[in-house]
Amino acid sequence: MREASSPLYFFWDYAITEEHLRDILRGENADERAWAISRIIQYARWEDIWKYVTLHDIQTHWEQLQWRTPELRDLWAYALEVWGVRR
């Protein structure tokens, strides 16, 4: 079991804890939020993605998200389309 103050596995190269992540996601800095959402949807396990972000979050920050590959971006774009979410 992971301690609350332990770094999150999908931020392996940063010391981001759950509390710190939630602060970023609630914060005023849209660039930081987009960066965090990008990391979450690309590196977190499926069930963990939805603990931190919503489809609305992804939709809102779509243009600022950073993608590892164009294929991954296309996959998420297709998923949003299937789920009826407009980008």
Give me the pLDDT at residue 85, please.
Answer: 87
d(CA 24, CA 16): 10
DSSP 8-state class, residue 18:
H
d(CA 67, CA 41): 10
List the helix and strand counts (H, then E) for the chain.
Answer: 5, 0
Does residue 4 surpass a pLDDT of 80?
no
Sketch the domain layout of the chain as residue ranges: 9-82
Looking at the chain, the whole-number percentage of residues with pLDDT higher than 90 is 91
Q: Based on the number of CB atoms within 10 Å of its own CB, is 39 exposed (0-12), middle (13-18) or buried (19 or more)?
A: buried
DSSP 8-state class, residue 20:
H
pTM for this entry: 0.90
